[in-house]
Amino acid sequence: MLRAGLGRRSRCCGGLWRSPCPEAAGGCARALSAASAFPSPGSGGGARSGGAPPAGASNVKPLDGVKILDLTRVLAGPFATMNLGDLGAEVIKVERPGAGDDTRAWGPPFVGTESVYFLSVNRNKKSIAINMKDSKGVKLIKELAAASDVFVENFVPGKLAEMGLGYEDIKKIAPHIVYCSITGYGQTGPVVQRGGYDSIAAAVSGLMHITGHEDGEPVRPGVAMTDLATGLYTYGAVMAGLLQRYKTGKGLHIDCNLLSTQVACLTHVAANYLNCKIEPKRWGTAHGSIVPYQAFKTKDGYIVVGAGNDHQFVTVCKILNLPEVSKDSRYKTNTLRVQNRKELIDILSTRFSEKATIEWLQLFEGSGVPYGPINNMQQVFSDPQLNTCMPAEYVQTFLNIRIVLAFLTCNKLAV
């Protein structure tokens, strides 16, 4: 593993991180640091000792023994560290005394006094409240960092450095640390001091410009996709950082931000503009370069059908009993179908409106054409396929949010 001598995850409401006073908490952190050994540069890493599970144990997770100090709040950072926790890392979430993470107040709905929003992205974590404006709090953060493998934060650039907790500060006491910063706009540039929220980044990056009905207003996606994508980039970058440290014995500073993440996720839309100067438009559920590839209204709902090649288009026409359409010279290739989009979509839409969604689903089954209904949440979590492809305990987390509480250790120590 990546670091020798890391202790096993302590149990809820007890263990290494629970302490009745700041001094004792600091002492615990020092004891852990002293017991932890990091492979020296050039050693290529080293085997874990002490709390490591037996070789071949079925319950070993990829990040067992890795400790993450999580100073993030709201969504992108917590989503990243939650996923790292799912892989076995021990995540220590640092929150403000009293209020805690902003999302603890985001509701309703609430489960008891806890925001469901907060619970949905803070699975597999322990929580400690530290006043980082106090010198004792800064000292405690440094002690925890020295005992950790990963340090994740999402403060405005320069803010932690003012407190003595920037990368260069932490590097001095923990040269092994994989330090990851998540910001709205990166570490340099004219607007780096601006706060970064998902909707703002989605607007600035162009995502809202291309989202919505063809003749409608810009629309925010139904979930915070810019934040979530940044969380996934962060998750992958931290994993790569741990691998890099394993190879070199040295830590590093990772820079993730909402703006560059979302622009990177524009993929072909950005490429179309950069290479062909094509300014994109909103397409609703349709696709600018593939036809048909969109939602169609049925008698009682909607079905989404995508014909990604000419063979699939012929199959769609066969299922809809429209053989003459597949033979029409205007629709022979995808390029022609894109050029004659309106006429073709009108024909297909009329036919789809003649049957109920379930009838079309039965007709498309086994055809090889990608298709599916537009489900509400009740239908999503009743889908037998979901229960097959997603781990049962993960689904249960959403079906009964109270189970998340079992993964949270909310021992808050105000310093």
d(CA 327, CA 310) in angstroms, rounded, equals 11
d(CA 196, CA 258) in angstroms, rounded, equals 7
d(CA 35, CA 150) in angstroms, rounded, equals 17
70 backbone dihedrals φ, ψ, rounded to 5°:
-110, 105
Q: Are strands 67-71 and 110-111 parallel, antiparallel or unpaired?
A: unpaired
d(CA 84, CA 397) in angstroms, rounded, equals 16
Written as one string, the DSSP assignment of 291-336 is SSEEEEE-SSSEEEEE--SHHHHHHHHHHTT-HHHHH-GGGSSHHH
The separation between CA 375 and the C-alpha centre of its own chain, rounded to angstroms, equals 22
HSE of 305 in the Cβ direction (CA atoms, 13 Å)?
Answer: 30
Contact (Cβ atoms closer than 8 angstroms) between residue 119 and residue 111: yes
Active site residue 227: yes
Q: Write down the catalytic residue from 64, 101, 149, 227.
A: 227
Active site residues: 227
